[in-house]
Structure 1
């Protein structure tokens, strides 16, 4: 009876320890410069797109956008900041630049290489922030939408 009790307690303890173990979400080692707060971070590559030449804006109020470039506030996300800049001409969003996106490791760069162009294309088609998030890039999509809305708010300001 004593052996069974000892075996049971050992098994329960092992299971509790296994479930309590926090695993890393990234297989890449952190960059040495990332640990030094005085080292400037490299910005993610800028992605620029032009809108389709056919069709008209589907959202009401698109004509209320002022012409110019508007940089949204940087949205702090779990994996790093996301910041967008829009270019508006004739009341239409003509380009979206992603000024900054998470790029701390290879996985971030791979996710954003697929997600950012999709988000930019969706924005140009919708002519606003009413777009779908990219599956597998939820954090980047959330930060992108937050920064995009900030830029749109600036473009709408009187």
Structure 2
């Protein structure tokens, strides 16, 4: 009987250790749902800001350039840089024949992984809504309130500049 009492604590220790190791393996095998989005979304703004000819560095300026396409006049305007709690937001738009055809976020908060995670889903949603609404009257993206407000203000300044 004395031998059975010795084995019970050892058996409990072995089972508890096995359960702990199994639990840790399961936790470590889980991956956050946003990790692939962050990796895919980060390179896109970098290439668009380098393709914009350095307009991302001009804070608070509005610039426009017109070029004639085969079917109409296309005008590209960069809105004002709007300072938000988490960093500046600046939008560049393209208007063709009075219709908003493209919206690109040139500058937006991306200093840390959390900013990158939030903006990897917020910026595309804001772009889609702006193109659908054809105005700056767009909804705020949940979880990205400050970026949404800055995006809206920069978009409105770009639209105002495009009209004049």
Give the distance between the partners of 2:162 and 2:120, measured in 1 at CA: 27
Report the 3-state secondary structure (helix = DSSP H, G, I; strand = E; otherwise coil) of the residue aligned with 2:91: strand
| Match of residue 129 from structure 1 | 136
Report the 3-state secondary structure (helix = DSSP H, G, I; strand = E; otherwise coil) of the residue aligned with 1:142: helix
Give the distance between the partners of 1:67 and 1:131, measured in 2 at CA: 23
Give the distance between the partners of 2:109 and 2:91, measured in 1 at CA: 12
Give the distance between the partners of 1:149 and 1:67, measured in 2 at CA: 18
Give the distance between the partners of 1:131 and 1:96, measured in 2 at CA: 13
| Match of residue 83 from structure 1 | 90
Among 154, 158, 162, the alignment partner of 1:155 is: 162
Report the 3-state secondary structure (helix = DSSP H, G, I; strand = E; otherwise coil) of the residue aligned with 2:111: coil
| Match of residue 77 from structure 2 | 70
Aligned-residue offset at 1:113: 0.3
| Match of residue 114 from structure 2 | 107
Among 86, 98, 101, the alignment partner of 2:105 is: 98
Q: Provide structure 2 residue ranges, at least 5 long, that are not aligned to the other structure.
A: 1-44, 50-72
Give the distance between the partners of 1:140 and 1:86, measured in 2 at CA: 17
RMSD: 1.9
Provide runs of 4+ in structure 1 moved above 3 Å: 44-47
State TM-score, norm by structure 1.
0.58
Give the distance between the partners of 1:149 and 1:88, measured in 2 at CA: 13
Aligned-residue offset at 1:67: 4.0
State TM-score, norm by structure 2.
0.56
Higher helix share: 2
User: How many residues end up aligned between the 2 structures?
Assistant: 97
Alpha-carbon contact 1:74-1:82 (below 8 Å) kept: yes
Alpha-carbon contact 1:67-1:155 (below 8 Å) kept: no
